[in-house]
Amino acid sequence: MALVEIDELHLTMTSYDGAAHVLAGVSLSLERGEIWGLVGETGCGKSLTGLTLSRLVASPPARYLSGAVRFDGRDLLAADEETMRDLRGRRIGMIFQDPTTNLNPAFRVGTQMIDVALHAGRVDPSILGLAAGASRGARRRAARDLAVSMLDRVGIVDAARRIDDYPHQFSGGMRQRVLIAMALIGRPDLIIADEPTTALDVSVQAQILALLHRLAAEDGLAILLITHNLGVVAQIASHVAVMYAGAVVEAGDVRAVLKSPRHPYTQALIAALPRADVKRGALAGLPGVVPDLLTPPPGCRFLPRCPIGAADCARAAPGLAPVDTGQRVACFRAERAA
Partner 1 sequence: MLTYALRRIVLLLPVLVGLSIIVFAIARLLPGDPVQLAAGPQATKEEIEALARELGLDRPLIAQYWSYATGLLQGDWGQSILTRRPVWEDLRIYLPATLELVFAAMAIAVAIGLPAGLLSAAYANRWPDYLSRTLSLGAISMPRFFLGLLMQLFFVMQMGWLPLGGRFPLVEIPPPAVTGLITLDALIARDGGAFLTALKHLAMPAAAMSLSPLATITRMMRATTLEAMSQDYVTTARALGLSRGKILFKYVARNAASATLTVIGLYFGWLLAGTVLVETVFDWPGVGLYATKAIATQDFMPLMGVTLVIGALFVIVNLIVDLAYGLINPKARYA
Torsion of CA 236, 241, 244, 249, to 10 degrees: 150
Q: How far is the CB of 106 from partner 1 (least distance, A)?
A: 5
- Contact residues for partner 1 (CB under 8 A)? 54, 56, 85-90, 92-94, 96, 98, 101-107, 112, 115-116, 119-120, 123, 166, 168, 179, 182-183, 185-186, 192
Residue (of 186, 188, 207, 185) closest to 196 by Cα position? 207
Task: State the Cα angle at 67 between 188 and 39, rounded to 5°.
Answer: 60
Distance CA 150, CA 261 (A): 39
Q: How far is the CB of 325 from partner 1 (least distance, A)?
A: 36
Write the CB contacts of 133 (distance below 8 Å, at least 6 apart in sequence): none
Distance CA 89, CA 104 (A): 17
Nearer to partner 1, 106 or 131 (CB): 106
Q: How far is the CB of 265 from partner 1 (least distance, A)?
A: 29
Distance CA 264, CA 308 (A): 8
Q: How far is the CB of 169 from partner 1 (least distance, A)?
A: 9
State phi, psi for 104 to the nearest 5 degrees.
-70, 120
Q: How far is the CB of 139 from partner 1 (least distance, A)?
A: 15
Q: How far is the CB of 199 from partner 1 (least distance, A)?
A: 11
Distance CA 255, CA 263 (A): 15
Q: How far is the CB of 45 from partner 1 (least distance, A)?
A: 17
The DSSP bridge partners found for residue 23 are: 11
Q: How far is the CB of 15 from partner 1 (least distance, A)?
A: 16
Q: With 0-12 CB in 10 A as exposed, 13-18 as middle and 19+ as buried, what is 89?
A: buried
Nearer to partner 1, 116 or 258 (CB): 116
CB neighbours (10 Å) of residue 65? 13
Distance CA 63, CA 84 (A): 18
Q: With 0-12 CB in 10 A as exposed, 13-18 as middle and 19+ as buried, what is 30?
A: buried
Whole-angstrom CA distances from 326 to 33, 264, 329 are 19, 17, 10
Distance CA 168, CA 159 (A): 16
Nearer to partner 1, 85 or 255 (CB): 85
Nearer to partner 1, 104 or 295 (CB): 104
Q: How far is the CB of 100 from partner 1 (least distance, A)?
A: 9
